Every structure is written in structure tokens, then in C-alpha cells.
Structure 1
Amino acid sequence: MSTAAHLAGPATVEHTPEPVPLSLATVANRYVSLGATPTARRIRGAGVSGFQRRYGDLAGWRTASVAERRQVRTEVASFVGHTVIACAFPVDVEFAVASGCRWGKYLRDAYPGQADRFHAQAASLGFCAKEIERMWSWLAKICIVTGTSPDQLGPQEYHEARTAVHDAVIASRGYRPKTLSTPLFGLDAVMFHRGQAPAPDIRRRWTGRPVHEVVWDQLAQAAPVMVATMRRYLRQCAISLRPSSVALFDTTLRQFSASLITADPPVTRVADIGRGHVEAYKQQLADRPGYRGKPLSKTTLGMRMGHLHTFFTRILEWDYDDVPARVPVYRSDRPRLDEPLPRFLDDAQAAAFMTATRNLPDPLDRLMVTTLARTGMRRGELLGLTVDAIVQIGTGYWLRTPVGKLHTDRYIPLHPQLKDLLDAWIAGRPDWQATDLLLTERGRPIPPTRVDKAVHKAATAAGIGHVHPHQLRHTLATQAINRGMSLEAIAALLGHRDLSMTMVYARIADRTVADEYFAVTSKVESLYAASQPAVLPPDAAGPAMRALRAEATKRLLGNGYCARPIELDCRYETICESCTMFFTTIEHRPTLQAQRDDADLKGQTGRRDIYDALLQRLDDAP
């Protein structure tokens, strides 16, 4: 699920009353009088005089070009900076970026209380003083472009001015400075929690891999009918599926459409799509480089083919007008994937890993890794936890997971050590934030890669190589089943909808089998060493082996099997043999004789008589 979707609406923050904009004359008098010494007042007065001689007023100043406004003496530039803020005079974004004025200082001088509150809020989110100063400097540029104070910025106003400042910096330099993204990335988070900005992106979108793909509007120009059919299908999917799933379908259909339009001859309708077009697209996927230049994985190839198969199947079922004669995608188009057993940490590795986790210096790393290891949660469930996830049921504490992969939630019992870590984290969490997410870093939702790095730190410190967060889930399940927890309890713990999902851990519960194996083989070895034949003691078959024997002696029935231990009697044991429609043949005589003898040994006369009659019937048969 998308983590940013958990962000709540912006919090309401208290704003200081907006000062009434001052006149130019009042600003000039106040500016000069604030000089600390006679020399400072004389320099400030010279700045005011120089401004009035050159421009007259702020309107005249604005009519000058950016280059002309930059070519002024320092005292004039200082007066201009104080004046545009005090008069709430909006400044064109080109000058705000290129002037070189100390806008952050001028804004602090005008609104010291607002500056102190902003610094305190940013510091509570984890930003250092240097980072906060850089963010304040960018906020000052945004304020002078809008002609407002920091507390009076609205979300839409902030977003538009922030975008304008960002684009103006890039345009003025001809490239994206490395120092540009970090302060704006942090400023977006602080302003969101102050209730003055839209929800921030979870990642720096400009750092992702570039995707050069055609958009629907371009495709519609070449194939309007086909695009209309596909977009209609996507709109229906968006009603019932998650946005992330619809986004994957959208990408597949756009890629497929682009290959169809460039085919020879071009395809402009879904009805004209044939088997050859699917095979050509499949070959394009196979030849296309994947992540880091490697071939596209079987999983991705199968996913794309699955999307197309579903698309064609559904539009035929939904009776669309633009449909092919039959579904041109077959099940065999999807590569058969390997089904390896889940990877888990053995007991020694798990112990070393947990020791390293307890020694992680970062509290967030320690909390995330411990939560994964102690609860078996999925990574997405961890990132979706909210501050009210801890609940008390009776005398115990439980952790409620968010609705996740299988569209279900559940309660997980909290280990005391994990409960202490969660309490400490919540106690140190700023309560003025505008999100109910439990795990945030510097005011933003944590990306999945942040969890991966925390697990990697613990694994590296433990010296056990690469460990993925999902391996901790497999490890907890394997440890539980090896120590006697029932499959039903494990399924409830892990949030499995079907018990067949849990059965995979029964395949990897090799510790119990290994213990039983070596316990038995040590006794068997004594047979080989002895000169005389020996008989194994009755306890040679341990509990697991006895369980395997019980499984092998289950009585098969028509629609299942009877799990009654063979040592226990059952009144229905001969219900089939006593039926008038029951028939048997001579090859079953040894089994019937053994059943007859067993009944006689147990004193079950009624059961013995039934088998006697069956045996007599076989003997009398010609």
C-alpha cells in the first residue's frame, strides 16, 4: 500500500496576527532609527536616499530590470530587502532568486517570533541547526514572492510559489544544484505538519530512474479507438482495485499500445490484435534490459502477460464493442516461476542477529528491526502502523496491524521488550504533527528502502551476510513450528487467509525432523556395532516419528480420511463391510483375515462375525 496515503489532513497551527503593511516613509524612518550606532544610522540613511533618488518608490523599483536592480550599492540593497517584507510587497521570482539578498535575515528581523517557532518545530522533527537555516532561507524567498509572512502562507499559495522558486533556480543556473533538493525536501515536510503545504512525497521523485514511456494523450492521436477501450477498462479497475495495482495495469497497456502502433501495419483497434502482436510484445519484453542492465526477470514478464490476459478476458466478459475474436494470450505465455522454500535464519544466526539489533545505535533502526523480528509483520504493515496501534486486551498488550496485502488486519501479542521500545518512541514523537503514522523520520513517511537498510545494518553487525526484512517473518514462523506451535496459531499470527499459505513452513521445519533422525540413527548404529542381533527399544521411535507413523496408517475414505488412532475402537469401523452393496474379491482375503483376527484379539465379537461371513462368502464362491 501507499504509505503517503496514511497522512492525515494538515494540522491547525496558531498564527500570529499579520502586521499591517507599512508605508514606505514609515519603513524608511524605522529602518534608519534601528541603527545601533551613529555610523550605522548614517549608512542606513544613505541607503534610503540612494533608493529614493534612483527609483522614487517601490513601483518605480519594480519597473527596472533584474540586472539594474542588482547593480546597486550594498546599503541600498539592504534597505530594499527590509522594505519589501515590511510593506508586504510581492517580488518577482527572478529577482528573489538572483538578487543575492539575505532574505532569511530580513524575514527574521521582521518576524522574530515566527522564526523562533519555525526553528523549534523543525528541530523537533530531527533537523539540525544548519539544515533549518537553509530551509528558512528558502521559505523567505517563498514569502517575498507571495508578499506574506511565514504564518500566513496557505497550502496552495505555498505550493505555487515553491514550484516557481524551484524552477527559477534551475533556469538561472542551467542545471539542478545538488544543494537545492535537500532543503526543499525538508521544508515541504515541516510546512505540511504546520498545515501550510500539501502532503509531501515519500521520496525525492527526481532521484528515481528516468522512465521514457509514451503517455495516453500521445497514443490517442494514433489509435483513438484502442486507447478509449483501454482507458475505459482502467477506469473500471480503479473502482475495485488498489491504486498501485491499477498503475501496474496502466503501464502494461501503455507499453503494449506503443508496440502495436509501431507495428507494420499499425494496429489502431483492440479488435485487430492477434496472436502475432502478443508474441512480438513478449519478445520485446524479453529483449528489454531490466534493473541495472540485467535481463527482465521472469516475474516481471509473467506479470505483464498476466495483465494482458486479464484485460482481454474481462473486456470479452463485459461485452465491450472493441474486442478481439478470442483471447490472444495463453497461460503458457507466463514463464513458470521457481518455488523455492522460504529463506530463514537458523537458531544460531537468529540469536546473533537479535544481539546485534539490540546494539544498533539508531533508535528507529532498533525499533523497526525488533518489530519485524518479534511480530513477523510484513514490511508494508510495519510502515502503515499508526500511533493508536497498541491496544490493551485484558492484562496483555497487542499490536493491531493495518489492513494490508490480503485486505485484512489482525492483532499480534506484544513482547515486553518491544512494548518498551514502542512506548519510548511514542513518548519522543512530536505531538503537533499532522499525521497519525507511528514511524516517521524528519516529518516524512519512511520509504521501504529505509527498513531494508536497518535490517542490513543488523545483519552486517551480526556477520551473517545479506538478510531481507521478509526473512525475519520466515524465521519467526519456522522457530514457532519447530517448537510446537500449531499451524492454525501460526496462520493467525502471520495473517494468512488460507492454511495452505502456512503449510509451506511445515516443509522447512527441518529442526524437529533432524533431531528425531539423529536420535534414531544413534540407536540404529548400535545394531551394526553389535556382534549379536539386537532389537531396538520401544522408545526408539520418538514423538515425531510416531506422528509420521500415525499419518501413514490413516484410514482412507471416499472423500477424505479417518484420523482415528488405530489403537482406539470405532463403532463405525465396519460400516462399509456390513452394507448390502459391499463387494470384495479374493485378492483382499489376507486383509480381511487380518481384520478378523484383530477383532477376535480385542474381543469384538460383532466385528469378528462380519469378517467371518465375508471370508466364508469368498471361500464358497466358485
Structure 2
Amino acid sequence: MSMPLRSGGNLKQVACVLRPGSVSATDLALRSFTAFLLECAPEVGSIAQVTRRHIEDFKPWLAKRPGRTAPRIGPATTLQRLGTLRMFFVRIDEWDWPEAPARVPIFLGDLPRIDHPLPKALDDAAAARLLRAAQADRRMLVRVTIEVLLRTGLRVSEYIALQADAVVQIGAAPWLHVPVGKLHEDRYLPLHPDLVTLIQDYRATFVDAENSLLLPNERGGPLDRHCVTRMINRAGRAAGLPHMHPHQLRHTLATQAINRGMSLEAIAAMLGHRSLDMTLRYAKIANRTVAEEYFAVTDKVDALYGKPAALPADAIGPNMAKLRREHHRHLGNGYCTRPPELDCAFESICENCTFFQTSIEFRPTLQAQHDDAAAKGQDHRAALFNAVLNTLDDSEAS
């Protein structure tokens, strides 16, 4: 078969624009299809003889292949290999190879749709245990590695590639220069002074001044992702945590940041995301607007399912009139005389509605409603009308 020979030209072309890891993945995908043809379709002597039937037979053959650590390869690997194979046929068709099939035999519909689970971050308690365990470890590099990853959100490939001059002073603050990496862009990250001191202490103890790396191992050699993973799990075991991947520390920082009000734009810049679509995955973990609005209506929703409150025993005759005078609520066009003992699921429903709109001409009425609620200690209603009035003030100022 001529496919392995000619696919070498394809690899040389993609090597001009892709990183070595992507070129290796392309090579592996093409070799996988070649192995299938040799095993299941020996009659195929050239790429031109590949038909749609061969692709349909290849998909179940591929799905049964063993993975590196699992009995079967996963959907992501299947997607990568089928997608790479499809792009191979598209390219040779566009390049007018004589051996190209008459039609591209693999369709977009052949590519599996994979799940997009939310990032797996450590919760606050687990992250604190991991950090304490790292700080107590007798090997200083364990602490340095975990603190840097947990406080900067670096990818492991970025961490092990940090250069000796990566810590720089810009203005009054220390920054970390992260070199060009996965997305072909470099960036600067603010560094906590304690982290700067920790890095300096490690370098003073273990790193030769001539070493080109910021954080090599104790013998001066470069770290790799496997070393980093082992160090993280060494501290993780001491903290009673299950097996972890270095990327979980990146997810952990991003989740902590968004839960504490950091903007998506700032998180994207910190993580080196090229598109906000990548950062929006973390917004699904901590949608503050959804949470705040949910808890704002929880009491009203609960009231729908609870038993109606009973009026006091003396709430009859003259006493009822007295309750109405003391607790009536000022509405836009009148008053509500519902006693406070009778909860109402629809209190201030209009002002909470997304279609509610007002203007400056209604300011006197809104102000009167606010003052009435504040005088009667109806804090929720007073805060609501205060927010509406502030919105009016902002629109008038602009």
C-alpha cells in the first residue's frame, strides 16, 4: 500500500504549521487507519481505492481498540483520529493528488459528539488541605510546584518551561512572564510577594545561577508533566485526596476567582484564554446572577407550598381595622391592607418582573413607596424601591 509513503508528505506539510505533539497525533491517526486496511481490507493497494464502505468498517474497528489506560479508547480519541483522517482526505483532494479518491469518503456526521463536562476543580476545603500538606512536605519543590500552580493557574507545560528571568518587576509589583505556549501567545501574571520569596528561596538552595530554567528539579534538570503529577499526588495523599491531575489546580483557581466576583475578562487574561467561550465554562459553575435571583425568590416560592398563616385570635372587629392601619403597604395606586401574618407570594411582583419599566415622572410615587416601607420596617420592599430609584438616578445622570 502506498498510503504510509504518501502520507509522509502530508505530515511534512502539517509540521510547518502544527506543534510537534499535533504532528505526532496526526501520524498516529494515519497509522491507525493503515493498520485497519492491512488487517481488514488487504485488497486496498492505494489511497484511491478507499471507499465509503472502508470508512464504515473502520469506525467499529477503531471503537474496539484498547486505550492506553482503559479497555477501549475514549470518545475524544475517536474524534481526534476520525477528524484527522477526514482532514487528510480533504487535503489530498484540495492538493489534487492523483491517488485521492473521487470523493472524500468520510463525512462530518461520522465524527462523534463528545460530552463537555464542567471543569473538575477542588472545593475550598480540599484546596486548603492540599496546600497545607504541600507546605508540610519535606521536599521544598513539592511546595513550590503546588503553590505556583494553585496561585497562578499555569498549565503544566507553561510551568515546566518558565525561564530563569520569568519573575520581573513592573512598577511596584512583581510579575511572572509566561512564555509562548499552547495558544502561541505569552502573557504576564501578577505574583503574590510570598510566592516570589518562596521561588527565591528554592533557587538559592537548589538552582545554579547559570541554569536557564526558573524551577528545575533539585539536580538542575528540567521537570516534566509526569514529575509534576507525582508531586501533586504526593501532597494529595497526605491530605487524604483522590488522584489528581495538574490541570485541576488551574480549574481550582479559576473557580475560586469567579466565585469571589472576578470578571470573566480578567479570568480569561489570567488563564491565557484567547476566547471568552473557553472561560464561560467556569461561569456555569458559579453563575452569581442565577444564584442571587434564586435566593431572592426562595421565600416567595416556599410560601406557595406552605400552609396559609392564621390570623391572630383578636384580629376581628375593631382590631382588624387597627391591623390594617398599622401594616398597610403603599402601592402605586393605593394600599394593600393585608396583615403581616398572612404572607403574600406576590408582594412587589411587578417591580421584580423583567418587563417592569418606569421613568422619572414616577419618582414621587416610588419615593413614597420606599419611605412607607422604610417607616414600617419592611426592609425587603425598601431595598427594592431603593434599587429602582438608584436606576432612575443613573439614567437621569447619563
| 1:463 is aligned to 2:240 | yes
For the 8 Å contact 2:166–2:214, the answer to whether it is kept is no
User: Hey, what does 1:231 align to over in structure 2?
Assistant: 8
Distance 1:540 1:442, change over 3 A: farther
1:525/1:330 Cα in 2 relative to 1: closer, same or farther (>3 Å)?
closer
Of 55, 58, 66 in structure 2, the residue corresponding to residue 289 of structure 1 is 66
Question: How does the TM-score come out when normalised to structure 1?
Answer: 0.49
Distance 1:493 1:518, change over 3 A: same
Alignment of 1:438 with 2:247, yes or no, is no
Flag structure 2 segments of 5+ consecutive residues without an equivalent: 311-340, 361-391, 393-398
283-292 or 468-477, larger mean C-alpha shift: 283-292
Residue 357 of structure 1 aligns to a residue in which SS?
helix
Among 237, 247, 250, the alignment partner of 2:24 is: 247
- The Cα offsets for residues 24-66 of structure 1, whole Å up to 9 and x where unpaired, read as xxxxxxxxxxxxxxxxxxxxxxxxxxxxxxxxxxxxxxxxxxx
Match of 1:345 in 2: 122
Q: 1:352 to 1:322 in 2, by over 3 A?
A: same
1:530 paired to 2:339: no
CA distance in 2 between counterparts of 1:358 and 1:566 reads: 55
Aligned to 1:400: 177
Q: CA deviation at 1:501?
A: 1.0
CA offsets, 1:472-522, max 9 Å, x none? 212211221121111111111111111111111111006775566456535
AA aligned to 1:474 is H
Match of 1:482 in 2: 259
Identical columns (%): 47
Partner Cα distance (1:334, 1:398) in 2? 43
Provide the secondary structure at the position in 1 that maps to 2:182. coil
Greater Rg over alpha carbons, structure: 1
Measured in 2, the distance between the counterparts of 1:368 and 1:256 equals 40
Q: Distance in 2 between matches of 1:250 and 1:306?
A: 13
> In structure 1, what residue type is equivalent to 2:279?
T
Distance 1:394 1:433 in 2: 26
* Distance apart, 1:260 and its partner CA: 2.3
Structure 1 position 526, deviation (Å): 6.9
Q: Is the 8 A contact 2:211 2:220 kept in 1?
A: no
More helix by share: 1
Are the counterparts in 2 of residues 412 and 493 from structure 1 also a CA contact under 8 Å?
A: yes
Give CA deviations for 1:417-471 in whole Å, capped at 9, x if unaligned: 2111111122234436564353234232212111112221222222233332212
Say what the alpha-carbon RMSD is for the aligned residues.
3.0
- What code does the residue aligned with 1:491 have? A
CA distance in 2 between counterparts of 1:378 and 1:276 reads: 42
Name the count of aligned residue pairs: 329
- The change in CA–CA distance for 1:400 and 1:567 in structure 2 (over 3 A counts) is farther
Alpha-carbon separation, structure 1, partners of 2:85 and 2:21: 17
- 1:256 matched to which residue of 2? 33
Q: Secondary structure at the match of 1:439?
A: coil
Letter in 1 for 2:198: L
Looking at structure 2, the residues matched to 539 and 505 of structure 1 have their Cα atoms a distance apart, in angstroms, of 33
Partner residue, 2:99: 322
Question: Are the aligned partners of 1:437 and 1:445 in contact in 2 as well (CA < 8 Å)?
Answer: no
Change (3 A) 1:392 1:283: same
Q: 1:231 to 1:395 in 2, by over 3 A?
A: same
| Distance in 2 between residues matched to 1:336 and 1:534, nearest whole Å | 49
- Secondary structure of the residue aligned to 1:412 is strand
Q: 1:422 to 1:332 in 2, by over 3 A?
A: same
> In structure 1, the residue corresponding to 2:189 is in which secondary structure?
strand
Q: CA deviation at 1:537?
A: 11
Unaligned residue ranges in structure 1 (runs of 5+)? 1-222, 554-564, 570-601, 603-622
Structure 1 pair 487–510 and aligned structure 2 pair: CA distance change class (3 A): closer
1:34-433 correspondence runs (5 A): 223=1, 225-292=2-69, 294-431=71-208
CA drift of 1:258 comes to: 3.1
In the TM superposition, what whole-angstrom CA distance separates every residue of 1:339-369 from its partner, at most 9, and x where no partner exists?
1111222222222222222222211111111
- Give the TM-score of the pair, scaled to structure 2: 0.74
